[in-house]
A and B are shown apart, each in its own frame.
Chain A
Amino acid sequence: MTLMRHSLKSLHTELANGSLTASDLVEASLKEIERVDGQVKAFLKVDHEGARAVAKHIDENRSAKRGLLHALPMALKDNICTDGLTTTCGSKLLANYTPVFDATVTKQLRTHGSILMGKLNMDEFAMGSSNENSGFFPVHNPWDLERVPGGSSGGPVAAVAAGEVFFSLGSDTGGSIRQPASFCGVVGLKPTYGRVSRYGLVAFASSLDQIGPITKNVEDAAYVMQAISGYDPMDATSIPQDVPDYLSALTGDIKGLKVGVPKEMMGEGIDPGVRAQIQKALTQLEKMGAIVEEVSLPHAEYAVATYYLIAPAEASSNLARYDGVRYGMRQEGKNLLDLYLETRSQGFGDEVKRRIMLGTYALSSGYYDAYYLKAQKARTLISQDFEKIFAKYDVVVGPTTPNTAFKFGEKTDDPLTMYLNDICTIPANLAGLPAISVPCGLADGLPVGLQVFGKAFDEATLLRVAHAFEQETETLEAPTLGGSAV
């Protein structure tokens, strides 16, 4: 196995016994980025100097205490603030924005010893399901460069799938970690709302956004979750809940586990090739001793409509701050109003403008009750569906996406068709629940993701189920791009 495919656990051993150094890992990562990123385009910024300096410091202080992610090269979605390194959100409007502080997760990863390699491409302000909305250039799927990697965390997922870094962090508002993880054959976890601090995550829809890990396997996800979870006084919506030991949750045992499979997620809208792989996975879970039964989420069919009112409404308010005054792009105007108009019209891309318009409309006087309030009530009903199921079941399982990765341009003309791609992931965000996507095979040569939803703050069970399943499933590895890998 090439070095960049090693698990975090084996790297820990190799670092501890001295067969590898931090500099070895950073050079291997830089070499892979140099070799494949011209094709994948996952990175918006590579911090060669910064990464090398941190590695050198680690190697010169070998007796220092080792964190959970000691000496491991990783990269962050470009909406996670990094002190001194640009944070663009994939937008021309923030092309030159350099934060003067670290996000809490950035700080936690640094504290645990991991090495920041750079910042990763994304749909502008995390709005998109294909990465075609990046204000700079789209990311390509390492499995098939003519296909999208999914979105909005396309860069973070593609970088891990292509073996450029050992792990990454993305953000998930309606599926932005899980959908691309499914498209690129890696593991992506959206934690419970409030489990991981959002301080320093550039806000899209504040009641839905959550940061989470993207890794090659479930055990790696447990390591990263351990490092980033927990209460943060800097985030008023973070929850003071104890963080369990995620690694010890990986017992491999799911005997007697009660699994609910919503019939609404296995119906007509799901591609037959995807459905076949999910069926196979369910049979596997049964073989391993789980009790698998059909359940119903009667309001699931309303989730997309609910989401595309609530998320744009919150976004229209959050994105009001980009006015060209204090930071980011400024387009001069003859007066202040003109400056606002010019900056926002030239700085934002098409999809971002569309969502700001939709959200402003849904919140405007005369339409608030009909759209925004109605959606908030529908959100309650969707949450209650899950509450009822979780009274009897431990996890809910289904596909992560209705189809595999599509080609560039296939869904760009009609925003609504693109929105429907999020149909299986959105319910978790609306209900605030944790959900993980784990690879479960191929359909027509492209990865399929199995999605596992859990009870609030029960990421440990999600990780246990996904890990046990992974042990019994063939590992997927993206085809090696451009010859031999490091």
Chain B
Amino acid sequence: MSIQKEDVYKVAALARLKLSEQEAIQYTNQLNDILQFAEKLNELDTTDVKPTSHVIPVSNVMRTDEVKTSLSQERALFNAPDQQDGFVKVPPVFEEE
């Protein structure tokens, strides 16, 4: 399974990254090296092996639904790059025709 430059651009778009032509070439080579190394796992027979997503088993952790004090609006917006009327402000999502 080898990865092409077009695949790298596609993955970058999914990850919301913009790549220069040079970066795309570099990542294509490096990702191929890493993925080729990862192919080593194909030597393993994992037919009846269960996947581990969490190493120390914990079941659903519940808490009682109580009202507690939390961050004030001012504190919550403290790091916002742009804000207005208590909201985080961003450029328009839908552009005017």
| A interface residues (Cβ-Cβ under 8 A, vs B) | 96-98, 100-101, 192-194, 207, 233, 236-237, 239, 299, 301-302, 304-306, 308-309, 316, 320, 323-330, 332-342, 344-345, 348, 353-354, 356-358, 360-361, 364, 367, 370-371, 373-381, 383, 414-416, 419, 430-432, 456
Evaluate contact between B58 and A374: CB separation under 8 angstroms. no
- The residue of chain B having its C-beta at the shortest distance from the C-beta of A195 within the complex is B56
Which residues from chain B contact A367 at a C-beta distance below 8 Å? Answer: 1
Evaluate contact between B16 and A323: CB separation under 8 angstroms. yes
Q: State in angstroms the CA–CA spacing of A432 and B33 once bound together.
A: 28
Q: How many residues of B contact A (CB 8 A)?
A: 52
Evaluate contact between B58 and A236: CB separation under 8 angstroms. yes
Question: Residues 53-97 of chain B: 1 if any A CB is under 8 Å from the residue's CB, otherwise 0?
Answer: 111101001010000000100011011111000001011110100
Known contacts A326-B79, A370-B1; is-contact A383 B17 (Cβ 8 Å):
no
Residue among A308, A338, A357 making CB contact with B17, cutoff 8 Å = A357
Which residues from chain B contact A330 at a C-beta distance below 8 Å? Answer: 81-82
Known contacts A344-B17, A374-B46; is-contact A305 B11 (Cβ 8 Å):
no
| B interface residues (Cβ-Cβ under 8 A, vs A) | 1, 3, 7-8, 11-12, 14-19, 23, 27, 30-31, 33-35, 37-38, 40-44, 46, 49-56, 58, 61, 63, 71, 75-76, 78-82, 88, 90-93, 95
Shortest B75–chain A CB gap in Å is 5
Evaluate contact between B33 and A416: CB separation under 8 angstroms. yes
Q: State in angstroms the CA–CA spacing of A192 and B8 once bound together.
A: 36
Known contacts A302-B40, A375-B41, A381-B44; is-contact A332 B91 (Cβ 8 Å):
yes
Evaluate contact between B56 and A380: CB separation under 8 angstroms. no
Q: State in angstroms the CA–CA spacing of A415 and B40 once bound together.
A: 17
8 nearest CB pairs, A to B = A432-B55, A376-B51, A327-B79, A330-B81, A377-B46, A345-B18, A379-B52, A377-B49
Q: State in angstroms the CA–CA spacing of A309 and B91 once bound together.
A: 35
- The residue of chain A having its C-beta at the shortest distance from the C-beta of B12 within the complex is A357
Evaluate contact between B18 and A376: CB separation under 8 angstroms. no
Evaluate contact between B56 and A305: CB separation under 8 angstroms. no
Evaluate contact between B80 and A373: CB separation under 8 angstroms. no
- The residue of chain A having its C-beta at the shortest distance from the C-beta of B93 within the complex is A336
Q: State in angstroms the CA–CA spacing of A381 and B14 once bound together.
A: 31
Shortest A337–chain B CB gap in Å is 8
Evaluate contact between B8 and A383: CB separation under 8 angstroms. no
Sample (11) of A-B pairs whose CB atoms are under 8 Å apart = A100-B78, A193-B56, A305-B38, A305-B41, A338-B91, A342-B18, A344-B15, A356-B15, A364-B11, A364-B14, A377-B52
Q: State in angstroms the CA–CA spacing of A332 and B92 once bound together.
A: 12
Shortest A206–chain B CB gap in Å is 9
Shortest B20–chain A CB gap in Å is 9
Which residues from chain B contact A376 at a C-beta distance below 8 Å? Answer: 51-53
Q: State in angstroms the CA–CA spacing of A87 and B25 once bound together.
A: 33
Q: State in angstroms the CA–CA spacing of A335 and B94 once bound together.
A: 8
Q: State in angstroms the CA–CA spacing of A429 and B18 once bound together.
A: 32
Interface secondary structure of A, over-half rule:
helix
Q: State in angstroms the CA–CA spacing of A416 and B12 once bound together.
A: 20
Q: State in angstroms the CA–CA spacing of A327 and B77 once bound together.
A: 8
Which residues from chain B contact A301 at a C-beta distance below 8 Å? Answer: 40
Residue among B7, B44, B63, B78 making CB contact with A233, cutoff 8 Å = B63
Evaluate contact between B3 and A361: CB separation under 8 angstroms. yes
Evaluate contact between A341 and B18: CB separation under 8 angstroms. yes
Shortest A129–chain B CB gap in Å is 15
Q: State in angstroms the CA–CA spacing of A326 and B84 once bound together.
A: 12
Known contacts A98-B78, A305-B41, A361-B11; is-contact A336 B91 (Cβ 8 Å):
yes
Evaluate contact between B52 and A456: CB separation under 8 angstroms. no
Q: State in angstroms the CA–CA spacing of A358 and B36 once bound together.
A: 12
Known contacts A360-B11, A380-B50, A416-B33; is-contact A456 B56 (Cβ 8 Å):
yes
Evaluate contact between B11 and A339: CB separation under 8 angstroms. no
Residue among A236, A309, A360, A380 making CB contact with B15, cutoff 8 Å = A360
Evaluate contact between B46 and A378: CB separation under 8 angstroms. yes
Q: State in angstroms the CA–CA spacing of A353 and B16 once bound together.
A: 10
Residue among A336, A341, A357 making CB contact with B11, cutoff 8 Å = A357
Residue among B18, B56, B79, B80 making CB contact with A239, cutoff 8 Å = B56
Which residues from chain A contact B71 at a C-beta distance below 8 Å? Answer: 100-101
- The residue of chain B having its C-beta at the shortest distance from the C-beta of A332 within the complex is B91
